[in-house]
Amino acid sequence: MCGRAGLVACSITVALYCFGTCITFLIIIGDQFDRVLASVHGPDFCHYWYMNRMFTIAASSTVVILPLCYSRRIDFLKYVSSLGVVAVVYVVALIIYQKFAGNFVPGTIKTAPDSWTDVFLVVPVICFGYQCHVSVIPIYACMKERTLHNFTWCVSCAIAFCVVIYSLAGTFGYLTFGSNVTSDILESYSGSNPLVLISIVAIAIKTFTTYPILLFCGREAVSVLWTNLFHRNQSDVAVTEKRRRIIIATLWFLLSLVLAIVSPDIGVVIDILGSLAAIFIFVFPGICLLQSTLHKDPYLLLNKDRFAIFASFLFILVGTFIFGVVLVQGSERFSRKSHSMNQICI
């Protein structure tokens, strides 16, 4: 819809977003291993090389994740992803159960932000959680009956499930701890509780099953850049597709693994990814709607097409605004965190 320039720009953005998300997933896996080992062995677990964060992340991800990164089609991951969904349902059930049976004393419960601009602080997390646009195209391509009706039904069910799960976890988790809640809510529960340990393992399983999906999307984006930049003909593409897939997936995995090990803080990463997610949620769909409408009705003779043009401009403006605000706020938080770290070191 947007020509070669739009294709390249979209591919670069998809690759950056998926790569950053993969780093975040590996960091989360390391956090879950640390919690389990600290609860089972004790606080000195990291002194042993085989329980150290560097080893646990590298070993587990190489054994579990890497073999799933070379599939040619994304539907290969549907059974593994189902296991991740079950893991998420268990964690949410635990959060609800602990609200009524955990005997926690919540901190201050806020019902309104201190400033109206604070609303935008939650935008990165919301965009990061609900942003599934990058996997839409390969998933649609693998459907048995590729019709708009079937796809709309699948998307609606998936989004509705996410809304229910996220809302239950966020509401009951905040009501349980109030202002004392941590960014990783499982850290607020005692690691000695077997139910909590199971939930920590469940989150690790969920992350293991999600990483290959994001790598698949990012790998395809890099592959598009590869073929466009080198102007390969179709016969060359067919011959080298398997080799290119293996090379990109392997290098992607190794680089994300190294960065996850040396950068254990995911707060800033999520801020930046949230701003990119705003581009996927608003800007790119708005541009596609604009281009498709103009292609179908270049003179805008129909009222519905005029409304579609208005909606596309609205999407683009809202997405650009959110992207700018979130990026600036994320940069300010990063600057404050770096300043405080320098003061600690001094």
Residues 314 and 172 grouped into a single domain: no
Q: Which residues contact 61 (CB under 8 A, 6 or more apart)?
A: 26, 29, 208, 211, 253, 257
pLDDT at position 345? 40
Asked whether residue 39 is assigned to any structural domain, the reply reads yes
Regarding whether 303 and 183 lie in a shared domain, the answer is: no
Q: What is the pLDDT of residue 44?
A: 83
Question: Does residue 240 have a pLDDT over 80?
Answer: no
**Domain finish residue from 259, 283, 307:** 259
User: Are 237 and 297 found together in one domain?
Assistant: no
Determine the pLDDT at residue 222. Answer: 92
**Residues 269 and 254 placed together within one structural domain of the fold:** no
**Residue 88 and residue 31 share a domain:** yes
Predicted confidence at residue 167, as pLDDT, reads 93
222 and 280 together in one domain: no
What pLDDT does 103 receive? 84
Contacts of 124 (CB under 8 A, 6+ apart): 270, 271, 273, 274, 275, 277, 326, 330
Report helix, strand or coil for 290: helix
pLDDT at 340 over 60: no
Q: Does residue 344 register a pLDDT over 50?
A: no
- Identify the residue whose tokens are 């080298």: 240
pLDDT in tens, 90-117: 999 999 999 998 888 888 888 888 887 7
Q: What is the mean pLDDT of residues 6-24?
A: 87
pLDDT exceeds 60 at position 236: no
pLDDT of 346 strictly over 70 = no
- When pLDDT is cut at 50, 70 and 90, the band that residue 338 belongs to is low
pLDDT given for residue 101 in this prediction: 87
State the pLDDT at residue 314.
95
**Domain region containing 334:** 265-346
Cα–Cα distance, 211 to 341 (Å, whole number): 30
Domain membership flag for residue 344: yes
Q: Are residues 89 and 231 in the same domain?
A: yes
* Residue 192 is assigned to a structural domain of this protein: yes
Regarding whether 217 and 200 lie in a shared domain, the answer is: yes
Q: Are residues 186 and 314 in the same domain?
A: no
Q: Out of 215, 232, 259, pick the residue that ends a domain.
A: 259
Alpha helices per DSSP H over the chain? 3-40, 53-64, 78-101, 123-130, 136-141, 148-177, 194-230, 234-262, 267-278, 284-296, 303-345
Q: Are 225 and 316 within one domain? A: no
- Residues 43-55, mean pLDDT to the nearest whole number: 85
Distance between CA 289 and CA 279 in Å, rounded? 14
Which residues are within 8 A (CB) of 251 and not within 5 positions of it... i.e. 6 or more apart?
none
* Number of domains forming the structure of the chain: 2
Residue at which a domain ends, from 259, 274, 299: 259
pLDDT digits (tens, 9 = 90+) for 288-317: 999 999 999 999 889 999 999 999 999 999
